[in-house]
């Protein structure tokens, strides 16, 4: 049985791409990091509203993994009801260029129409630019 990729970060054969992707491994981690980069510190409930398709359990799991990896810091305030904030650490902030390039690529190459995702090829982008 193979070990999860997240558990193998110390055993990679030296490939920096694979190591970097291991920190973003998981359906929601990149999206969580994006929202924390764009919006700053967010409460759990605010993150949940931004990621409507994620379950509470999955969001909690992904946030814990990001915290263990040193990308996110969790601050618990001793108030009733409990308040928990999430923010990026300096290491998490250092992923800004990576996350923003992913955002730019998605903005250029993915269109949502009638509830479906459509990929836009570079040729189609050039044709749109020529027509304008």
User: What are the boundaries of each domain within the chain?
Assistant: 14-128
The H or E element containing residue 83 is strand 83-88
CATH ID of 14-128, from 3.40.50.300, 1.10.10.10, 3.40.50.150, 1.10.357.10? 1.10.10.10
Q: What is the DSSP string of 37-79?
A: HHH-SEEHHHHHHHSTTS-HHHHHHHHHHHHHTTSEEEEEE--
Q: Could you list the pLDDT tens digit for every one of the 132 residues in the chain? A: 344 554 555 565 668 888 888 888 888 999 999 999 999 999 999 999 999 999 999 999 999 999 999 999 999 999 998 899 999 999 999 999 999 999 999 888 888 888 788 888 887 767 766 666
C-alpha–C-alpha distance, residues 128 and 121, integer Å: 11
């Amino acid at each position: 049985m193979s070990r999860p990729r997240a558990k193998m970060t110390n055993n990679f054969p030296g490939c920096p791409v694979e190591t970097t992707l291991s920190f973003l491994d998981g359906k929601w981690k990149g999206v969580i990091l994006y929202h924390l980069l764009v919006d700053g510190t967010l409460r759990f409930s605010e993150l949940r509203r931004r990621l409507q398709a994620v379950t509470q359990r999955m969001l909690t799991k992904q946030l814990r993994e990001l915290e263990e990896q040193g990308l996110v810091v969790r601050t618990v305030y001793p108030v009733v009801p409990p308040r928990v904030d999430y923010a990026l650490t300096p290491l998490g902030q250092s992923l800004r260029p990576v996350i923003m390039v992913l955002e730019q690529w998605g903005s250029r190459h993915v269109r949502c129409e009638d509830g479906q995702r459509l990929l836009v090829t570079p040729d189609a982008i050039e044709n749109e630019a020529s027509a304008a």
